[in-house]
Amino acid sequence: MPGCEEVESGAFKGWLRWPAVKESSFHEAIGPFQWQRCSPSAARCRVETGDRQSNGSGALHGGFISACIDMALFAAAEPVLTAPAVTSHLSIDFLGRGVPGEPLDLEAEVLSDRNRHLLVRVLVRQGESLVASATGSLLRTG
């Protein structure tokens, strides 16, 4: 994906990220999102969490987790996305409570790349706990 860059220092040195387009963007609101390439069709992603991503009951907000999953779809597909794409379908099963203050780890893998559609699977964990499982489709628009 155009604009992807390598983190140059800190705990995520060598990981990849998208630079924020502007401070008021939705991407900026999510927080830093980094990933490592595990294979040509898979990525391991990480996003830090805190109280600002929590819901009224003190768990991570489902919308926040959904947004992270959506970004993980694109991280996994990044090597084959030579043209713009959009999420055309996203199905999520929430399996556990996300805890603010602990990082979310997302394992994303492209399962199928046919014509203009890519099918991606994402598992979301905090430590040993499975928080969510998802599948999503990306549609190349360019």
36 close to 21: Cβ distance less than 8 angstroms: no
CA 4 to chain centre: 14
Band (pLDDT 50/70/90 cuts) for residue 1 is very low
Count how many domains the chain has.
1
Of all residues in the chain, the percent with pLDDT exceeding 70 is: 94
Evaluate if residue 90 carries a pLDDT over 70: yes
Band (pLDDT 50/70/90 cuts) for residue 92 is very high
**What's the predicted TM-score (pTM) here?**
0.91
Q: How many helices (H) and strands (E) does the chain have?
A: 2, 8
Structural domain for 128, as ranges: 5-140
Across residues 94-106, what is the average pLDDT? 96
pLDDT of residue 21: 56
- Report the alpha-carbon distance of residue 137 to residue 74 in Å, rounded: 10
Evaluate if residue 15 carries a pLDDT over 50: yes
- For the ranges 19-23, 76-80, 91-95, 138-142, which has the lowest average pLDDT? 19-23
49 close to 101: Cβ distance less than 8 angstroms: yes
Evaluate if residue 2 carries a pLDDT over 60: no
36 close to 13: Cβ distance less than 8 angstroms: no
Residue with tokens 């800190």: 10
CATH for 94: 3.10.129.10
Rounded to the nearest integer, the mean pLDDT of the chain is 90
